[in-house]
Amino acid sequence: MTRRPELEDAIRHRAQQLYEQRGCVPGHEVEDWVQAEAEILQESAPDPAYVMVRIHGTTYTGEYDRNHSGGYSPGEFRPGTPIEIRIASEKMFVKRPNGKELETRIVRKQAPL
């Protein structure tokens, strides 16, 4: 698995911290690395959030990463306010009031009953 160099560096740094916390006792390198990797990957995992949009009776739920949403914050869209939507494959792009698009991944599509 190829990782970004900064991610590898963060894991290596955390593993070194764990080694030092253990009193620099050898023999736990793999254990320290696995723990460091789990901690760093958890910290760097996307922070998902959701936006729901109704188009002609069908409700689309789009997932987006709060940390990479271009400053979008819930409440920018008011219920019933017309908005521009673009759907491309599994993605839904919602035009924000500031003219930028909020990119989401469609995780649910519910047609009217």
Cα–Cα distance for residue pair 48/62, rounded to 1 Å? 10
Average of per-residue pLDDT across 28-45: 85
Cα–Cα distance for residue pair 49/62, rounded to 1 Å? 8
Chain segment 13-27, per-residue pLDDT in tens: 999 999 999 899 999
DSSP letter (8 states) at residue 21 = H
Which pTM value belongs to this model?
0.58
Nearest to 99 by CA among 62, 65, 59, 72: 72
Nearest to 96 by CA among 49, 47, 51: 51
Cα–Cα distance for residue pair 49/104, rounded to 1 Å? 9
- Tokens representing 99 are 């003219």
* H/E element, 109: strand 101-110
Q: How many CB atoms lie within 10 A of CB 14?
A: 19
Chain segment 54-91, per-residue pLDDT in tens: 888 899 999 998 877 888 888 888 877 888 999 999 99
